[in-house]
Amino acid sequence: MGKSREIKTRIKAVKNIQRITRTMQMIATSKFSKAQQAATSSKPYTEGLFDLVAQLAAAAGDIEHPLLDAANASKPELTLVIASDRGLCGPYNANIIRTALTHIKGNQQAMQGPVEVVGKKGLTPLRFNGIEVSKHHTQFGDRPAYEDVNELAERYMSMFAAGEISAVRVVSMKYFSAGKQMPTVARVLPFENEALEGSEGGATSLPYEFTPDAEELLAALVPAAVKAVLFQIFNDAIVSEHVARMIAMKAATDNAGKMGKALKTKFNRARQAQITTELTEIVSGAAALG
């Protein structure tokens, strides 16, 4: 009797866990839809701004901008690691930390430079692996505001323009689709993008007239592009986190269901064995009395 009672208690516990994981899966699905909409809606602006900066920089000729110039190559690099504040999202944080450690330990300038972390789940693993974290950002959460990202980008641009750092690289999860997310190391400063580097083709064949002049336009557009790409990185990281949590909670719910079925079968067998034992005892007792 004790064994069947113990199995019944385990069945009840598994059902409670399944109920919790199913609820978390539904919450993650809802948050994923909202985060995906935010991430995809900001991409056209970011890509359009990239193209505009690329064409203007190419057409402007020898016009220079401090955020485009890698003049501080001997200075250390700043590394920003974007992890999550909460767990239960599968290998999401582990993949980001692994990528960050590979980048930092394999790059002498990154090893010597400041390392900043977004999210509680990235702080302890980095410190455990001997990485000194210079700043822990707690203001972003799972809905980063543009104002907070703008303030962070302004500080990075000021440090880069002052010659304190040679580059800013962000380690985060890049969102491609609901079925594909990949940890990446993106360089934010000095500003770069594929269109800018490959703008020697058709983009430069068109004549441009600048009003105001090219230098003034780039002075306004390049910082805006840096802020846009950093904000896009944050949006991609958030939507990737919700996807990972949604998948992890679905797997946990399915596993709890399978465990519940296995325990129910085990309970039925234990109960059947108990009934058989009781019947045998009754029959034996009746035979002894007769």
105-112 long-range contacts, CB within 8 A, separation 24+: 107/77, 109/75, 109/76, 109/77, 109/166, 109/167, 110/76, 110/77, 110/79, 110/169, 112/76
CATH assignment, 30-247: 3.40.1380.10
277 C-beta neighbours (distance < 10 Å), count: 10
| Mean pLDDT for all residues in the chain | 81
DSSP secondary structure code for residue 204 in this structure: G
The pLDDT tens digits for 95-113 are: 999 999 999 988 888 888 8
2 versus 128: the higher-pLDDT residue is: 128
CA distance 216 to 26: 49
pLDDT of residue 95: 92
For the chain, how big is the Rg over CA atoms in Å? Answer: 28
Q: Is the dihedral of CA 62, 63, 67, 72 positive or negative?
A: positive
Q: Is the dihedral of CA 221, 226, 231, 233 positive or negative?
A: positive
Helix (H) or strand (E) holding 184: strand 180-189
CA distance 240 to 247: 11
Q: pTM for this one?
A: 0.78
Structural tokens at position 247:
């998948």
CA distances from 274 to 8, 10, 69, 145 (A): 14, 18, 80, 62
CATH architecture for the domain at 2-25+248-289: Orthogonal Bundle (1.10)
pLDDT band at residue 208, thresholds of 50, 70 and 90? low
pLDDT band at residue 266, thresholds of 50, 70 and 90? confident
What's the rounded mean pLDDT across residues 116-143? Answer: 88
Bridge partners of residue 59, in order along the sequence: none
Domain assignments of the chain as residue spans, ordered by start? 2-25+248-289, 30-247
Contact (Cβ atoms closer than 8 angstroms) between residue 252 and residue 187: no
Q: Nearest-CA neighbor of 233 among 78, 118, 131?
A: 118
pLDDT of residue 214: 66
pLDDT of residue 195: 38
Q: Is the pLDDT of residue 161 over 80?
A: yes
Highest mean pLDDT among 29-33, 211-215, 227-231, 275-279: 227-231
CA distance 162 to 277: 84
The pLDDT tens digits for 37-91 are: 777 777 787 777 777 777 776 666 566 666 776 667 778 999 999 998 888 888 8
166 Cβ partners below 8 Å, 6+ apart? Answer: 70, 72, 73, 74, 75, 76, 77, 109, 160
Contact (Cβ atoms closer than 8 angstroms) between residue 109 and residue 77: yes
Highest mean pLDDT among 114-118, 177-181, 223-227: 114-118
Phi, psi of 199 (to 5 degrees): -90, 20
Q: What percent of the chain has pLDDT over 70?
A: 86
Q: Is the pLDDT of residue 204 over 60?
A: no
Q: What percent of the chain has pLDDT over 90?
A: 12
64 Cβ partners below 8 Å, 6+ apart? Answer: none
pLDDT of residue 102: 92
Alpha carbons within 13 angstroms on the beta-carbon side of residue 235 total 21
Q: Is the pLDDT of residue 117 over 90?
A: yes
The pLDDT tens digits for 181-197 are: 899 998 888 876 443 44
pLDDT of residue 171: 94
pLDDT of residue 63: 61
pLDDT of residue 194: 43
